[in-house]
Chain A
Amino acid sequence: MKLTLKIWRQKSSNDKGAFVSYPVDDVDPEMSILECLDVLNESLILRGEVPVAFEHDCREGICGSCGFVINGVAHGPERGTTACQLTMRHFKNGDELTLEPWRAKAFPLIKDLVVNRRALDHIIEAGGYISVSTGQAPDGNDILIGKEIADESMDAAACIGCGACVAACPNASAALFTGAKITHLGTLPQGEPERERRALSMVAQMNAENFGNCTSIGECTGACPKEIPLEVIANMNHDYVCASFKRRDDLPSPVAPVVERA
Chain B
Amino acid sequence: MATTQVVSNQLHPITFWQSSNGKKVVMAVTGVMMFGFVCGHMLGNLQMYEAPEHINAYGHFLHNLGELLWIERGVMLLAIALHILAAVQLALRSQAARPIGYSRSEAINSSYASRTMYWSGPIVLAFIIFHLLQFTAGYLHPHAQFVAGDVYGNVVSGFQVWWVSAWYIFAICLLGLHLSHGLWSMFQSVGLAHPRISPILRKAAVAIATLIVLGYISIPISVLLGFIK
Contacts and interface: CB of A to CB of B under 8 A. Distances in A.
Interface of A: 19, 69, 71-73, 79, 98, 100, 103-106, 168, 170-173, 203-204, 207-208, 210-219, 221-223, 229-231, 233-242, 244, 250-257, 261-262
B94 A213 contact: yes
Interface residues of B, number: 52
Contact of A234 (B101, B107, B193): B193
A51 B192 CA distance: 48
Nearest to B19: A207
B11 A105 contact: no
A212 B93 contact: yes
B24 A237 contact: yes
A212 B94 contact: yes
Nearest to B114: A217
Interface stretch (B46-54, B123-131, B150-158, B182-190): B182-190
A213 B20 contact: yes
B14 to A, nearest CB: 5
B35 to A, nearest CB: 16
A141 to B, nearest CB: 27
B12 A253 contact: yes
Nearest to A106: B97
B190 A237 contact: yes
B211 to A, nearest CB: 22
Contacts of B143: none
Interface string B5-24: 00001111111101111111
Contacts, number: 173
A172 B194 CA distance: 25
Contact of B109 (A221, A234, A261): A221
B108 interface: yes
Nearest to B111: A217
A238 B192 contact: yes
B4 interface: no
Nearest to A257: B11
A230 B101 CA distance: 24
A122 to B, nearest CB: 10
A99 to B, nearest CB: 10
Contacts of B23: 213
Contacts of B185: 215-216
Interface string B107-122: 1111100110100000
Given A173-B94, A216-B185, 5 more contacts: A98-B103, A212-B96, A213-B20, A219-B108, A256-B10
In the A-B complex, the 9 residue pairs with the closest CB atoms? A222-B109, A238-B191, A234-B193, A212-B94, A251-B13, A213-B20, A171-B94, A212-B97, A237-B191
Interface in B59-117: 90, 93-111, 114-115, 117
A79 B103 CA distance: 21
B188 to A, nearest CB: 4
Contact of A250 (B13, B16, B90, B114): B13
Contact of B105 (A72, A218, A244, A256): A72
B114 to A, nearest CB: 4
B195 interface: yes
By CB atoms of chain A within 10 A, which of B14, B111, B184 has the most?
A: B14
A220 to B, nearest CB: 8
B183 to A, nearest CB: 11
Contacts of B117: 215
